[in-house]
Structure 1
Amino acid sequence: MWREPIRQRRRDLPPGLSGRPNEIVHPQERIDGLVEAVISLTEDLSLNTVLQGVAQSACELVGTRYGSLDVLGGDQQLSQSITADLEPRALRLQDLGEHPLVRGFRASRPPMTSVLGVPIKVRGQMFGNLYLTEKIDGGDFTVEDENLAAALAAAAGVAIQNALLLEDSNSRRRWLEAGMEATDRLQAQPRSVMDNMALITEEALDASVSSLSLIAEVALDGRLKCRTSSGTPLVPCGQELPADLVAAEVFAFGVSRAVTDPRQVFDQVTAETLGPVLISALGTNSYGHHDDVLVLARPVGGTPYTEADITSSVLFASRIGLTLDLLKANEAKAENALFTDRDRIAKDLHDLVIQRLFAAGLSIQSLRRTTTDPHSLKRITIITTELDDCIRQLRDTIYSLRPRGPGKAFLSSRVLSVVHKVADATDFVPRVQFSGPVDDEISEEVLEQLLPVLQESVTNAIKHSGSKDIRVLLTVQNDAITLHVSDKGCGFYEPERISGLGNMRDRAHRLGGTCGIESIPDRGTTISWSVPVSR
């Protein structure tokens, strides 16, 4: 390394001259050292290595004990400080003072009598300042020192520019590879929405070299809430993010936004462990508006997100958004094909099966005229009742099979879906009946309360009743929708303590409705929930 000959010359000086090396080392040798320093800066284009090399080289060339390279951020405020010590050693950190020229020196030092500072520019813009202090010979800085430091700063600007270009190139490559990898994995196999979200955050975390990656959505109340997160610190699902203003700008223009203060995005506790933050719009809803954001954050003191990160994150988010839209379109296509087939089955059931069952019922009823035996008449009544019941169930099934349109499943279909999902782990399925125009237009506000109540009621009946005879009746009559969930189980002595009952009542009261429970030990329980059809 070029520094070793200079260090050796200084060590070989006579004792009386060791304090004045610059008077002995020929100026030409210092120029040669400058040339060697410039060459060394091009050996490793890693930005951190280049910055550290600039600070260390400046100390060696000018003959100072300590140096600091202060990097300025986009707001022209100090964002990073790289220090150099001619004789590195362990130090106990103390208060160095508030003088702006020595703010980069983070350790205790003897009193500093002189400081040399030179600016470093990259592409004509201020990148930072190089500060040197405490000359080895104890003297003041000379014009020659200043010229040497300025020459090194000019060369450093070129080296830093090349390092930044390489870093930008590597950053864009990471983002591009992450986008391609995420797209391939999303399309490779069907996943749940949450699994897809987790996959996206993981890919973005690696691409951006961040410590935290999360996806947040705009909830119904207009607040930004976390859907899933990767990295540290993990942000719980559903936690609010006070990033409304930043997110509004991102949503409005579909761009990425970098912020240096994490308190603009996270709560106080989370923000204490984080530094720079990057927010990007992710995907669109059915109205063409952005409804999710990708939030990335680096740790305290982390490198701010560059322009390459900002532009690449926009492309990444756009690519992921298009992929998610494609997945939605494919799901809609598959669902449409499924509903088309179901519609065909429904027509066959209605035109063939139900008519044959109805004819069979009439034939059995006609047998009443041919017999007077009480036992036979009772059997005829039982069989006729069973056939009528089968016809009603077939009609309910037909209603649930018929499509309603893109993204608008019938309520009967949604009710059956909830019941089957809850009973998936059991060896029986609760019986479901409908009465009245249940598939007419019912406000989404009502459905958002009805379906969770249904799920909670059926879940409680399966878990606690001990009965396989569970029935669900949904009735629409006189502008009211009523849900009855009953079982023939063990019943409760204190039905008011049934899990989730208070929440069911709250949901009913929000819509101006009622919720009641009737439970008789050893005979079963019935939950009745009723609200107006529309609000």
Structure 2
Amino acid sequence: MATTPPPPHGQPERLPIDRLLGELASRVDEIVLDRERLRALLDAVIGIGSDLELAAILDRIVAAACKLVDARYGALGVLDDSGGLADFRTHGLSEAERAALGDPPTGRGILGHIIEHPEPLRLTDLSAHPDSVGFPPGHPPMKTFLGVPVTVRDKAWGNLYLTDKRGGGRFTEDDEAIIEALAAAAGVAIDNARLYAELAASQAEHERLVVYRDRDRIGRDLHDLVIQRLFATGLQLQSVLHLVDAPEATERINTAVDEIDGAISDLRAAIFSLHSGAEQPLSATVRGLAGVVRHQLGFTPKTRFEGPVDSDVPEQVRIEVLAMLREALSNAARHARAHRVEVVLAVADEHLVMTVTDDGRGVPPGASRRGLANLASRAEALGGTFTLTGVEPSGTELRWHLPL
């Protein structure tokens, strides 16, 4: 079951039930109802107001309408800008009946009549109306009919359609009045759900802008403070090499300088990632990462893409793929001494295969395997695999096989 998102800051937790009940009270005086039906109408209105998601509200409206007037079938048609139907929610049809009907109606026949004449309509026999065009193949038989418009802020928004009153009787004037009252309350609920959705979208956009500003700030701090300090430290170490006579000390200083260069490369990749949101195509982000390490490699790695890389990779897989690629490219820049690096991403049969190939010196026998173990564990967490193989005459191939 879909969960309702938290309301925007400063907004009520639920729809304003008092407005719904106020709209209902303005209609109840027009209806002669016994206590049981009045209670059912009140419960229906409260039920409609208990949700904030528009689709769920529409389904609740149709189900409540069928229950209130004992209709076997119900539907709510949402109008589009051209006067047709943009959405059509049904109640009472089995899955097999829905499948047999195929595409939803477009607003012809009796449905079109209600659209063109937004006022209540009760029929004892659907087929006897002059605007009736019959039913498509696979449509269940229907005879009695009750249609009522739904308005939002005094504008036609959709229509409630109810057919086949159980027991074989016809829909009454009281049925029509109670559905009109429900439709009035439904209009308020729909209006508030749309307003809530707009406010939620506005808040989400605001939060996204805040995140981007934080990313910019962090990126500037990393570049202006951390990278420049690391770079200055590396220069200082190199400047004292001529003062050191012991070969072991010289080797350690050179190793430290290499590690600093590697850290700078990693930080540049991290800064790039901060500015690469999910809106950017995955292929563009991969090309950008390849460009980040060109200073250390002395060239830009080649990139190649096969299949729907930009559309079929879920966000969680995308995040992990980029993290693994950053580490692989960083390792190639720091250790491989390669003249060629190629990155290939291929999507097919609901799987992503990523390879990073270089013509470098391979993995030395005594080298730490901690980074490779990290790459393997990331792949396994996604239900995939990671392999490292040698390439003739020299070099390595890193390959990830990940399900989507």
Q: TM-score, normalised by structure 1?
A: 0.40
Which of 113, 118, 122 is the equivalent residue of 1:258?
122
1:270 counterpart (129, 136, 139): 139
Aligned to 2:111: 247
Structure 2: distance between partners of 1:363 and 1:383:
12
Match 1:391 to one of 253, 261, 271: 271
Within 2, Cα distance between the matches of 1:172 and 1:266? Answer: 38
CA distances 1:205-229 after superposition (whole Å, capped 9, x unpaired): 1112101122344589986487443
How far 1:275 sits from its partner (Å)?
1.6
Match of 2:393 in 1: none
Alpha-carbon contact 2:70-2:165 (below 8 Å) kept: no
Indicate which of 448, 458, 479 corresponds to 2:313. 458
Q: Distance in 1 between matches of 2:134 and 2:42?
A: 28
Displacement of 1:309 = 3.0
Spell out, residue by residue over 1:290-347, the C-alpha distance to the aligned partner (whole angstroms, 9 max, x if none).
2x43221115983232344334423322311211211221343344345445544543
Say what the alpha-carbon RMSD is for the aligned residues: 4.9
Q: Which amino acid aligns with 1:181?
A: D
Distance 2:98 2:284 in 1: 36
Give secondary structure in 2 for the equivalent of 1:184: helix
Matched, 1:318 2:180: no
Q: Secondary structure at the match of 2:275?
A: helix
The separation in 1 between residues aligned to 2:35 and 2:135, in whole angstroms, is 27
Match of 1:185 in 2: 47
Q: Say if 2:220 is the partner of 1:355.
A: yes
**Does the C-alpha gap of structure 1 residues 311 and 254 become closer, same or farther in structure 2, counting only changes over 3 Å?**
farther
Contact 1:224/1:241, CA 8 A, preserved across alignment: yes
4+ aligned runs moved over 6 Å, structure 1: 219-223, 453-456, 470-473
* 8 Å contact from structure 1 (residues 258, 277) kept in 2: yes
TM-superposition CA deviations, 1:186-216 (whole Å, max 9, x none): 43354x4443333222211111210112234
- C-alpha contact 1:223 1:240 (8 A) present in aligned 2: no
Instruction: State whether residues 151 and 184 of structure 2, in contact with CA within 8 Å, keep that contact through their aligned partners in structure 1.
Output: yes
Counterpart pick for 2:64 among 171, 182, 203: 203
Structure 2 SS opposite 1:371: helix
Match of 1:169 in 2: 32
Aligned match for 1:381, one of 248, 258, 261:
261
Matched to 2:268, the amino acid is D
Amino acid corresponding to residue 354 of structure 1 in structure 2? G
Counterpart of 2:73 in structure 1 is: 212
CA contact (8 A) 2:62 2:91 kept: yes
Q: Deviations over 1:485-517 (max 9, x none)?
A: 947xxx8xxx5xx269xxxxxxxxxxxxxxxxx
Q: Please say if residues 70 and 166 of structure 2, whose CA atoms lie closer than 8 Å, have aligned partners that are also in contact.
A: no
Q: State the distance in 2 between where 1:365 and 1:486 align.
A: 33
What is the rounded CA distance, in whole Å, between the counterparts of 1:394 and 1:336 in structure 2? 23
Tell which structure's C-alpha radius of gyration is larger. 1
Moved more, 234-243 or 385-394: 234-243
Amino acid at match of 1:293: N
Contact 2:78 2:87 in 1 (8 A): yes
CA distance in 2, matches of 1:346, 1:261: 58
Point out where structure 2 has 5 or more consecutive residues left out of the alignment. 1-30, 239-252, 289-307, 326-342, 352-385, 388-398
Structure 1 residue 281 corresponds to structure 2 residue 136: no
Letter of the 2:223 partner, please give it: F
Counterpart-to-counterpart distance in 2, 1:472 and 1:213: 52
**Where does 1:142-157 land on structure 2 (aligned, <5 Å)?**
none
Q: CA deviation at 1:471?
A: 8.4
Amino acid paired to 2:192: L
1:188 maps to a residue whose letter is S
Percent identity of paired positions between Structure 1 and Structure 2: 13
CA distance in structure 1 between the partners assigned to 2:350 and 2:211 by the alignment: 40
SS where residue 75 of structure 2 aligns?
A: strand
Other-structure match for 1:421? none
1:172 touches 1:312 (CA, 8 Å); kept in 2? no
Superposed displacement of residue 431, structure 1: 11
Alpha-carbon distance change, 315 to 187 in structure 1, aligned in 2, over 3 angstroms:
closer
Per-residue CA deviations over 1:344-379 (Å, capped at 9, x if unaligned) read 4543443x4222111212222233422345433432
Asked if 1:306 is matched to 2:172, the reply is: yes
Listed one character per residue, the Cα deviations across residues 147-168 of structure 1 (whole Å, up to 9, x for unaligned) are xxxxxxxxxxxxxxxxxxxxx7
Q: How does 1:470-481 map to 2 (within 5 A)?
A: none
1:456-501 CA distance string (max 9 Å, x none): 7226996xx9x9537899xxxxxxxxxx9947xxx8xxx5xx269x
Q: 8 Å contact 1:431–1:471 — kept in the other structure?
A: no
Task: Provide closer, same or farther for how the CA distance between residues 454 and 264 of structure 1 changes in structure 2, counting only shifts above 3 A.
Answer: farther
CA contact 1:214–1:228 (8 Å) conserved in 2: yes
SS for the counterpart of 2:171 is coil
Q: Which amino acid in 1 is paired with 2:32?
A: S
- Give the whole-Å Cα distance in 2 for the aligned partners of 1:300 and 1:180: 22
Matches within 5 A, 1:225-244: 227-232=88-93, 235-236=97-98, 239-241=103-105, 243-244=107-108
Contact kept? 1:431, 1:470, Cα under 8 Å: no
Paired residues of 1:283 and 1:324 also in contact (CA < 8 A): no
- Conserved in 2, the CA contact under 8 Å of 1:364 and 1:384? yes
Q: TM-score, normalised by structure 2?
A: 0.51
| Equivalent in the alignment of 1:469 | 321
Q: CA deviation at 1:242?
A: 6.1
Q: Deviations over 1:26-72 (max 9, x none)?
A: xxxxxxxxxxxxxxxxxxxxxxxxxxxxxxxxxxxxxxxxxxxxxxx
The answer to whether the aligner puts 1:367 opposite 2:233 as a matched pair is yes
Q: CA deviation at 1:387?
A: 1.7
Which residue in 1 is equivalent to 2:243?
none
Letter paired with 1:261: L
- The whole-number CA distance in structure 2 between the counterparts of 1:256 and 1:326 is 24
